[in-house]
Amino acid sequence: MSQAVTVPDFAAVEAAAARIAPYVQRTPVLRSRSLDALAGAQLWFKCENLQRAGAFKFRGASNAVWALDAAVAARGVVTHSSGNHGAALALAARARGIAAHIIVPEGAVAAKLAAIEVSGATVHRCAPTLAAREAACEAVRAQTGATLVHPYTDPQVIAGQGTAALELLREVGPLDVLVVPIGGGGLAAGTALAAHGIDPRIEVCAAEPSGADDAAQSLRRGERIDALTPHTVCDGLRALIGAIDFELLRAHRVQVTTVDDAATLAAMRLVWERLKLVVEPSSAIALAAVLARRDHYAGRRVGIILSGGNVDLQALFAGYD
């Protein structure tokens, strides 16, 4: 890991919780007897789909925006995002009264793009490759002086994402396991920091699409995979794991379970039916991972972070307008 990067710790998560408290929702925790029975475990669902901007991403974005000093903040912020982080950063920037520039790749989910635009950010389109996203981001940063707020490798973003697990643990008491989705790794890394800052014995598990399993491969090999073409319905989990996130996952012994898209969509339907919550596939994968390893979780107290609920309803109801 580069020495130039400040690696966040539990104190950073606690500082983030205090910093963003005036701006974020303290999201509810729900239970379901029928889902407990299916899993053979006690499940606590942290409902970040009910967070502002519809996803946990608002936590990290808010922490990054409000951590900037006034002179730096005045030049605005920039990021690249397929949706949830872009919308979250746009909303956080609007709350502070500064400009936000969001680089959005072609093919982004329409509902997520609309959320970015409605928050007043300037949207810049680019080709759907990481290289194109990063190049466009650097061009805007150089032109405007805006601060880059990376979706998952920014230390302030990672610390902010950890506040969801911090809230969950302090509300429901001791848990044996925390399960979160993983894409770039910011939520998983922040969750590990929060969990092990409270109790080093808590097991942290990450759920990853089998068609975008770079985190699982990276942890098996002991080195980060930096080239993989994702194929998954979980549009929020298509990013490759970041370097700082990978090192934090290794340090905190985070386990990764891969799940196929069919199981993820089945779990999404269960959440819609049993909890009466709208969640996106990238969120439902955490429950799918628990159900896929029922023997591993049996009889345990399990926290599940439902990471977001920004479903493309226009596509879902196409032909019924």
Residues annotated catalytic, as ranges: 57, 82
- Give the three-state DSSP class for 163: helix
| Token reading at 276 | 């009466």
| Token reading at 41 | 């475990």
| Host H or E run for residue 46 | strand 42-47
Q: Report how far apart, in Å, the C-alpha atoms of 319 and of each of 102, 132, 279, 314, 315 are.
A: 31, 34, 22, 9, 9
Q: How far is it, in rounded angstroms, from Cα 196 to Cα 320?
A: 48
Q: How far is it, in rounded angstroms, from Cα 50 to Cα 139?
A: 34
Residues contacting residue 179 through CB under 8 Å, at least 6 positions apart: 205, 206, 207, 286, 287, 289, 290, 302, 303, 304, 305
Q: How far is it, in rounded angstroms, from Cα 88 to Cα 116?
A: 8
